[in-house]
Chain A
Amino acid sequence: DSGVTQTPKHLITATGQRVTLRCSPRSGDLSVYWYQQSLDQGLQFLIQYYNGEERAKGNILERFSAQQFPDLHSELNLSSLELGDSALYFCASSPRQGDGYTFGSGTRLTVV
């Protein structure tokens, strides 16, 4: 157990639907990062939060949004889902920005 908890582990949904992925960071970590990993692709940076505030955006689609709550857990919302959104979605946390990442085990999203 890495200390970063992601739920659910698997999610199957239909095109056009909306889903929410949840991440609880490691205790004491203030930064949360979301990454998307498609089949045979690298880790695409989506968005970062630090202590409740958005700090950086990567290749995140407008259909996607995220937030970090006062208890530091984070949620990634994916809407108007398309087949191409099928991927592994990883959350990572760190005590400092940009360093010392601990990844969760990921949520495997399948859009049918």
Chain B
Amino acid sequence: GQSLEQPSEVTAVEGAIVQINCTYQTSGFYGLSWYQQHDGGAPTFLSYNALDGLEETGRFSSFLSRSDSYGYLLLQELQMKDSASYFCAVINQAGTALIFGKGTTLSVSS
């Protein structure tokens, strides 16, 4: 099966940089995805890493190390609106559906 571990909570102040880590165990690795979910809202896609290295999209970056079964989401120049839950996810063994971690709640204060 698949399992993912990520911290349950992270706090930071506006303008800061925060890193949300994710370690995973899976057979047949296809890539690591990140989703953002504001309270009660629909999860939205942030990034996807299939290969090792850093992918940058604006203020958000995502990193993957397949040899370490580890990835992280880096959020820079934090804003209040970044307060949300962030989920890492891997594709299931059948290669058909995403399995999500329990999520990290990010609280940004002024």
Contact = CB atoms under 8 A, between A and B. Distances in A.
B98 interface: yes
B18 interface: no
Contacts of A45: 92, 97-100
Contacts, number: 69
Interface string B69-93: 0000000000000000001000110
Contacts of B57: none
B87 A42 contact: yes
Q: How large is the interface on A (under 10, 10 to 19, 20 to 34, 35 or more residues)?
A: 20 to 34
Interface of A: 2, 31, 33, 35, 41-45, 48, 50, 55-56, 58, 88, 90, 92, 97-106, 108
Given A92-B43, A103-B43, 6 more contacts: A2-B44, A43-B87, A98-B97, A104-B42, A106-B40, A108-B40
Interface of B: 30-31, 33, 35, 40-45, 48, 87, 91-92, 94-103
